[in-house]
Every structure is written in structure tokens, then in C-alpha cells.
Amino acid sequence: MKFTPARPSIHGETLESLAARFAAAGEPAYRARQVLGWIYHRRAASWDEMTNLPKALRGWLAEHFDLDASALVLNRQSEDVTDKLLLELRDRSLIETVIIRAPQDGVGLDHSRKTICISTQVGCAMGCVFCASGLAGLKRDLSAGEIVHQLMQVCRREDARTPRARAELASFDNVVVMGMGEPLHNYDNLLRALTIVNAEWGLGFGARRITISTSGLAPKIRRLAHEPIGFRLAVSLHGATNEVRDRIMPVNKRWPLEELLPAVKAFAAAHGRMVTLEFILIESVNDGLEQAARLAEIAADVHAHVNLIPYNTVAGLPWRRPALARQQKFARQLEERGVSVTLRREKGHDIDAACGQLRLRTEKEREKAAPA
Ligand code: SF4
């Protein structure tokens, strides 16, 4: 389903596209840079704040563009260091954006390193059997503006907590495109959004600090390898053989490992840096030592770091997290084979941390509350 808002989000405009809109309206092109400066550099929250623009032009902007593609409806803070933002879009769809804080010695949580996990679709079409986001299928793609606006919500929130002391524009340190949706399934909007985030007239955020995570759309990985901006790549492997991946990730039937892994290698070769293999450990599904051995071979072959993620239980789904000892044994098997590996510490387990859970629960509550 496609959603066409009454006014497009200003956060989906590039310098060029906005200058073209101004030119068509008889305004000088330099106004585009002024407007984007107000939005990204000065964090204007209303058109009226843009005081060096003529009043009539501010009125024209308000008539033609949306300054708030999303509204914050819920902020769930976990006992550890994860902050989950539930955002409502103009069509009342819900998406999740997560702030993951990495505490550092000697500084408070407000000054910790922040990784932001953003969504690219409402729901997801990929149908991974362990995932809450894919349970109800794909509702729609997010627009470029809706993707960028998630980061502006974070900036707004973080600026209020800690006034920006550093010279950089973004109030965070890393972005992972790993939330709801398959990012490469919404390729054009994603690339436009990340171009805006990266541009000096946008958030000026370095491409090397942006990681795009895919469930394995091999042709799109090859396309991404040739983009002029060098983003990082993470692949959600979750199974080291076709047998296991077929069982839990339908995408593997379309692009099995024989097609996926050469595409990942091509990406790594084009960018000359390590990719990441994400591997959610699920009890009795992929946590056996034969999977660890095969995963080690794959990681060596594609020159990848492995990120092991203990499964977060999803209400209504039968999958379980392996015991800690088993997780550690799996990680050790990789280390002993010379693989660079991280066993992720739990984050956000107490706030419906698994991707899509908070949204799912809120939608169910809404359905219950709606008149029959
Ligand atoms: S794990 Fe990712 S790709 Fe798979 S269904 Fe969930 S959101 Fe989609």
C-alpha cells in the first residue's frame, strides 16, 4: 500500500530538489540552503523560527511541506541503556527508533556513545519466522523524509538532555539501519535519506558511521557496492547453511548462500573493509557447534566480523534464547578458529527489545480499544 501525504516531508528534500522547487515558485535558489540550514544546523522546530526568510515565503513553505513527518507517542526506557521511541506517522502507522547507549568510563550516560537504530518500512515482507516486525507482513515503505525524521526526533530529544557541546551536527555517534523493514527492499528512499543525512547541507554525518543491514537481497548488495557513498554493510545471516536459513528466513529460498556470499564478497572487495555478519542465536535452531564451524569458514572467506546476538523472546513465538554457557561456547568456537567475534550483551530485554514488539503490542491495544 502506498501512502501519499497531503504535503511531502521537508526532510525528504535534497539541496537540489528544494532549489528546483524554489526556482519553480520564482524564489532564488539560495533559499534552499537557508531552509536546510535552519532545519539541520539550527534545529528549527517551526517555520516561524526561520526569521531571515520573508514571511510570505514561510507561509508558502508551511503550505507545501510537512515539518513533522512523525510524532513521538511513547518513549520506553529500559533498565539498561536502551531507549525505544514509538513514532506515529501521518497515516497513524507506527514505527520504532531505538537509541542504544554505550556507557564509557568517567562520563555520565548522557555523554555516552549513542547508536541509533532506524526503521525503513512499516512492517516487513521478508517473513523471518523469529521476528515480530514481519508477523503482519509489509504495510508500506517509509518515504525518505520519514526515514530522516527519525534521526531528527533523536536529535531533538538528545539536544534537550545534553546541549550539543561538540562541533558535529548530529547528536549521535553511529546509525544502524536495522529496525523494522528490509532496508534494501526500499532501496531508493533509503539511499535518498542517507544521502541527506551524509550531506554537508544535511546532518553532515560520516558514511563510515552508517551501517545498512540486510537479510540477504543479493542483487541489491551488488548495487550498493557501486554507490558513490561508502556505507558499511551488515548481513543478517542467522544460519550458516541453506538448511537452517531456509527454515527461518524465506529470503534464502530466493537468494541462497551460493548467491548471497559472492555478493557480500563483491561488496567487501569494492569497499576494502570488513563487513559484519549478524547471527541471532536461537536455541536448538542454529546454536550447534557444526553451525559455529561453518560460520567460521564463511567469516574467513568473506573477511567478516561476526556479531552474535542472543535471541530476544517474542510473545506468541516458540523460539528461545540459548543458555549463556551455550552462547559462550559458540563464541569460543569462532574465536579458536581466528574469527573476530562479539557476543552482544543484552540491551533492552525488558522493553520489548526484539525488533517490532513495542509497535505490535501498541497496535493490538489500539484494536482492542477501537469500537466494534
Ligand atoms: S528480521 Fe528484518 S528482514 Fe526479517 S522479517 Fe524482521 S525486519 Fe524483516
C-alpha span between 186 and 4 (Å, rounded): 16
> What pLDDT score was predicted for residue 372?
52
C-alpha span between 284 and 313 (Å, rounded): 14
- CA proximity to 207, closest of 242, 253, 238, 175: 175
Average pLDDT over residues 181-201: 97
Place of cell 539501519: 177
* Alpha-carbon distances of 4 from 65, 119, 140, 153, 204, rounded to whole Å: 13, 19, 11, 21, 28
**CA atoms 48, 54, 55, 58: torsion sign:** negative
Taking the CA of residue 181 as reference, the ligand 1 atom at the shortest distance is: 7
Question: Is 151 in contact with 118 (CB distance < 8 Å)?
Answer: yes
Predicted confidence (pLDDT) at residue 349 exceeds the cutoff of 50: no
CB-based contacts of 1, cutoff 8 Å, min separation 6: 139, 140
Predicted confidence (pLDDT) at residue 240 exceeds the cutoff of 60: yes
> What pLDDT score was predicted for residue 270?
94
Evaluate: CB of 133 within 6 angstroms of ligand 1: yes
CA angle (217, 223, 225) in 5-degree steps: 105
Evaluate: CB of 182 within 6 angstroms of ligand 1: yes
Q: Which residue has the higher pLDDT, 194 or 314?
A: 194
For atom 3 of ligand 1, which residue has the closest CA?
182
Total Cβ atoms within 10 A of residue 124 = 26
Query: What does the pLDDT look like over 124-141, one tens digit per residue?
Result: 999 999 998 878 899 999
- CA proximity to 109, closest of 120, 100, 118: 100
Q: What angle in degrees, to the nearest 10, is found between the helix axes of 289-302 and 324-336?
A: 40
Predicted confidence (pLDDT) at residue 173 exceeds the cutoff of 50: yes
Helix (H, G, I), strand (E, B) or coil at 188: helix
368 C-alpha to ligand 1 centroid (Å): 26
Evaluate: CB of 85 within 6 angstroms of ligand 1: no
Average pLDDT over residues 95-111: 77
CA angle (197, 205, 27) in 5-degree steps: 45
Q: Which of 124, 139, 238, 248 for a ligand 1 pocket mutation test, highest count of atoms within 8 Å of Cβ?
A: 124
Total Cβ atoms within 10 A of residue 15 = 17
C-alpha span between 259 and 131 (Å, rounded): 23
Taking the CA of residue 124 as reference, the ligand 1 atom at the shortest distance is: 8
Predicted confidence (pLDDT) at residue 200 exceeds the cutoff of 50: yes
C-alpha span between 280 and 299 (Å, rounded): 15
124 is catalytic: no
Mean pLDDT of the chain: 91
- CA proximity to 125, closest of 311, 251, 312: 251
CB-based contacts of 272, cutoff 8 Å, min separation 6: none
Predicted confidence (pLDDT) at residue 350 exceeds the cutoff of 50: no
Rounded to the nearest angstrom, the gap between the alpha carbon of residue 2 and the centroid of all alpha carbons in its chain is 20
| From 13, 27, 96, 158, the catalytic residue | 96
CB-based contacts of 46, cutoff 8 Å, min separation 6: 67
Evaluate: CB of 235 within 6 angstroms of ligand 1: no
Based on C-alpha coordinates, what's the Rg of the chain?
A: 21
Query: What does the pLDDT look like over 105-114, one tens digit per residue?
Result: 666 666 678 8
For 186, phi then psi, to 5°, come to -125, 50
C-alpha span between 244 and 168 (Å, rounded): 43
Total Cβ atoms within 10 A of residue 148 = 29
96 is catalytic: yes
Picking from 1-5, 48-52, 170-174, 208-212, which range would have the lowest pLDDT averaged per residue? 1-5
Predicted confidence (pLDDT) at residue 150 exceeds the cutoff of 70: yes
The amino acid at residue 198 is N
Evaluate: CB of 237 within 6 angstroms of ligand 1: no
Average pLDDT over residues 234-263: 98
173 C-alpha to ligand 1 centroid (Å): 24
CB-based contacts of 280, cutoff 8 Å, min separation 6: 130, 236, 238, 286, 309, 310, 311
| From 117, 124, 155, 355, the catalytic residue | 355
* Alpha-carbon distances of 57 from 63, 64, 258, rounded to whole Å: 10, 10, 55
Whole-prediction pTM: 0.93
